Amino acid sequence: MRKNIVAGNWKMNNNYQEGMDLAFEISKLVNALPSRNADVILGVPYMLLNDVSSVANAEGIAVASQNVAAWEKGAYTGEVSAIMIKSTGAEYVILGHSERRKYFGEDEAVLRDKIALSLQNELKPIYCCGEVKEEREAGNHFEVVEKQINEGLFNLSAEDFSKVVIAYEPVWAIGTGLTASPEQAQEMHAHIRKLLAGKYGEEAAENTTLLYGGSCNAGNAKELFANPDVDGGLIGGASLKAEDFIQIITAF
């Protein structure tokens, strides 16, 4: 059976002390929950991976990197490899986020390399996909997401694919306050699951966690997560406030 997951994506917002304070606060609140129906992941900047892992792992919270180098090792000044990330205690890596695609020109070719290196080093990819506003308005959103999944993931063996989490994040909803409606999220997630079933079989598709991302917050998480194919969220802005993030974690 697939897992529910609530993952925070802190992006480039906190300095070291702010990040550690947030990690302590979230860990304390998670610890105080009588029960929870979702795994929790904190997607933090490189310089926080090690110390946030120390704090969060003790409460059963996993940590994700927000990126990884496309090379294994060597003379790549400024880059951080999958081996390095793994050595911090991180378990996941967020890949293909629309901000990486837009500002850093990441396409499926480089993402395939990053996914492969992550998997080789036992880091689980959280693979992001989603259409921009014009593509939705033109009615091409299914096609766009299909292409991103097909070209980014479908070269993986069934075994490797079983480690992947997919996040559907309509770009027009990220950081804009415009959330996809529960119907729009469900419709796309069902579509993605059908694609996965076609490639890897019904059981693999049923076992894959599909997250929704894009202005998901304490107010709308319940409605979004109530859909049968929405297994949690990738949360940006609302993951920076511990109380809000906890409300999202408990929205199942």
Residues lying near ligand PGA in the complex (CB under 6 A) are found at 9, 169, 174-175, 213-216, 234-238
C-alpha distance across the termini of the chain, in Å: 16
- Report, in Å, the least distance between residue 233 CB and ligand PGA: 8
Q: SS3 letters for 104-171? A: CCCCHHHHHHHHHHHHHCCCEEEEEECCCHHHHHCCCHHHHHHHHHHHHHCCCCHHHHCCCEEEECCH
67 vs 215 by CB, closer to ligand PGA:
215
81 vs 246 by CB, closer to ligand PGA:
246
**DSSP letter at 178?**
-
53 vs 98 by CB, closer to ligand PGA:
98
CA-to-CA dists, residue 211 to 39, 55, 68, 122, angstroms: 12, 25, 20, 21
- Report, in Å, the least distance between residue 91 CB and ligand PGA: 18
45 vs 214 by CB, closer to ligand PGA:
214
Which residue of the chain is nearest ligand PGA when measured via CB?
A: 236
- Report, in Å, the least distance between residue 221 CB and ligand PGA: 11
- Report, in Å, the least distance between residue 236 CB and ligand PGA: 2
The set of residues, in sequence order, having a beta carbon less than 8 Å from that of 245 and lying 6+ positions away, is 6, 8, 26, 235, 238, 239
CA-to-CA dists, residue 120 to 10, 77, 103, angstroms: 25, 22, 26
List active site positions: 97, 169
